Structure 1
Amino acid sequence: MRAELVEMYLAAHRAGKVQVTLGRAADFFGPRVLNSVLGDRVFPAALAGRPVQLMGNIDLPHSYSYIGDVARGLAILGEQEAALGQAWLLPVTPIVTQRAIAEMIGRQLGQPVRIQALPKFAIQAFGLFDAFMREFVEMFYQYTEPQIVDASAFERTFQVEATPLETALQATIRWYQQQSLQTAPRAA
């Protein structure tokens, strides 16, 4: 369905009906990102010393987009004539496994992060009670085979590089820490 929509938009652009540029991100994470594979099922648990919930085969190579890079990339696409008439893959962090991300988070927190790898049947069961997980079932294939995004065309055309992964994780952890402080019970 996504491919059909992309082609419909680009056909409208080619026909001169509208000016179109499209930006696509890999799985994204960062401050204020909750409903994501690297969102509220990972960072709050890691901060609390609980197991983080990751999906499928956690040792497969995977591309991720930092939300700051997604925002910057979309802004660039909206401002640049060279972007028109194309679908662009927005900047991604270096390819890494889910396990490696969890280990990086642990190093930044100064404590090991325990991992709970969720198989598809668990996602289906969670989907009975959680709308995000229900929608996620159809995308689960992305966690049973390598998911590698090549954003080099965007990076080369617009002279943009992804935020270093360690920096992006630091900003994300810092935001989740601030959120946990704001929602922590206060002494009377």
Structure 2
Amino acid sequence: MTTHVVLGAGPVGRAVVASLTTRGITPAVVTRSGHAVPGATSRRADLTDPAAAAAAVADAEVVFQCAQPAYHRWPQEFRALQSRVIGAAAAAGALLVVAENVYGYGVVPGPLTEALPLSAETRKGQVRAQMWRDLSDAHRAGQVRVVAGRASDFFGPGVTASAVGARFFTPIVRGKPVPVAGDPDRRHTYTYVPDFGEALVRLSETPATWGRAWHVPNPATVTTREFAERAATLAAEPLRLRPVRPWQLRLLGTLVPAARETVEMLYQFDDDHVVDHTAYAAVLGDHATALDDALAATIAAYAAPLRPATR
């Protein structure tokens, strides 16, 4: 039986595990702490150590790379981390399935498609672009088989560190002002994280997709204001958006480094940011969850801790 190893136990890693378990597969999840994930076995490894990374995936036939450094450490650490993963997957002879985002394209007039050049000028966008080039080079050289799924800003149960994570949904379910950076009346594609996990698994199962990157399926693209309004309606709470200015993010960044790092990515929210997944849907189907269904599940997860305990 094929051995599946998932690197990282964040929202994307857990979504991959959930999709694998629906197929009767029990994967191994690798984290630095040995964190337990329901439906998976746990392995402890420091993926920045080449020997530890290789040992963690030595029996793997499929490796899902969903691990990442802290957001503000991407320029210093992310490419090196991926290099260790490439080496480990190559040594195991495993397929490497990589969770990516769309930062590498940079500022683009019109919808994002996979045919666009990776010409980002931001620091994190350049890191992402070079990381894909590293993956593509390794695949073309026959070092390791690679496929990647690219998501936009994602949301869903268990997603906290996102533009539409805890700082967005927690105030919605509490009827509090919702902080929003950028222009809320611009269209923005958001990825539902269970759909991201399912897409990565489908890519792993389909050799015809290997060797390139694909935009994963997303719910209908709406403005951030409409996204928030639909969520607030489902939460049965009033909605008030609170604008967050770049200078406020920089000020907050003196205490929270990740906040400072969001400033260079604000172009994605100051104009329309629409991600096209037509190419993926033509090959693997459009299994995107309807937006209201995805929001309902997210609201339910965030509202659960607020409900009175029953005796």
Please give the TM-score of this superposition, normalised by the length of structure 2: 0.57
Higher helix share: 1
The corresponding residue for 1:49 is 175
Give distance in 2, aligned partners of 1:180 and 1:15: 53
Name the SS of the counterpart of 1:41 in structure 2: helix
Q: Which amino acid aligns with 2:233?
A: R
Give the deviation of 1:49 after TM superposition.
1.3
- Partner amino acid, structure 2, of 1:64: Y
Instruction: Give the match's secondary structure for 1:22.
Output: strand
**In the alignment, what sits opposite 1:151?**
277
Equivalent residue number for residue 213 of structure 2 = 87
1:77 equivalent in alignment to 2:197:
no
After superposition, the C-alpha distances for 1:86-129 in whole angstroms (9 at most, x for unaligned) are 11111111111110011101211223211012121111111111
The 2-side partners of 1:97 and 1:127 are apart by: 26
1:75 Cα deviation (Å)?
Answer: 1.1
Query: 2:224 pairs with 93, 98, 104, which one?
Result: 98
How far did residue 131 of structure 1 move? 2.8
- Contiguous gaps of at least 5 residues in structure 2: 1-125
Contact 2:150 2:216 in 1 (8 A): yes
Q: Which residue in the other structure is 1:36 paired with?
A: 162
Q: Which residue identity is paired with 2:161?
A: N
Describe the superposition over 1:54-104 as per-residue Cα deviations: whole angstroms up to 9, x where unpaired: 111111111110001011011111221122001111111111111001110
The aligned length equals 183
Q: Percent identity?
A: 36
Report which of the two structures shows the higher radius of gyration computed on alpha carbons. 2
Q: Which runs of 5+ in 1 are unaligned?
A: none
Q: Distance in 1 between matches of 2:209 and 2:243?
A: 39
Query: In 1, distance between residues paired with 2:185 and 2:193?
Result: 23
Q: Are residue 169 (structure 1) and residue 298 (structure 2) matched?
A: no
Please say if residues 25 and 90 of structure 1, whose CA atoms lie closer than 8 Å, have aligned partners that are also in contact. yes
Aligned to 1:4: 130
CA distance in structure 1 between the aligned counterparts of 2:197 and 2:294, rounded to whole angstroms? 13
**Structure holding more strand per residue:** 2
Instruction: Give TM-score, length-normalised by structure 1.
Output: 0.92
Counterparts of 2:213 and 2:183, CA distance in 1: 29
2:155, 2:191 within 8 Å by CA — same for their partners in 1?
A: yes
Aligned partner of 2:247 in structure 1 is 121
Aligned partners of 2:154 and 2:162 also within 8 Å: yes
Which has the higher relative contact order, 1 or 2, with Cα contacts under 8 A spaced 6 or more apart? 1
* Structure 1 runs, 4 residues or longer, greater than 6 Å off: none
**Equivalent position of 1:136 in the other structure:** 262
Distance in 2 between the 1:15 and 1:82 partners? 18
Supply the AA of the counterpart residue of 2:142. Answer: G
**TM-superposed deviation, 1:44:** 1.1
Deviation (angstroms), 1:161? 2.5
8 A contact 2:174–2:237 mirrored in 1? no
Q: CA deviation at 1:10?
A: 0.8
Question: How far apart in 1 are the matches of 2:237 and 2:176?
Answer: 11
Counterpart CA distance in 2 for 1:41 and 1:6 is 30
Mapped to 2, the partners of 1:179 and 1:22 lie a distance apart of 35
For 1:8 and 1:68, locate their aligned partners in 2 and report how far apart those are by CA, in whole Å.
Answer: 27
The 2-side partners of 1:82 and 1:132 are apart by 37
Give distance in 1, aligned partners of 2:306 and 2:282: 39
Q: Deviations over 1:143-167 (max 9, x none)?
A: 1121110011111110132100000
Distance 1:62 1:103, change over 3 A: same
Describe the SS at the equivalent of 1:20: strand
Q: Does 1:111 align with 2:237?
A: yes
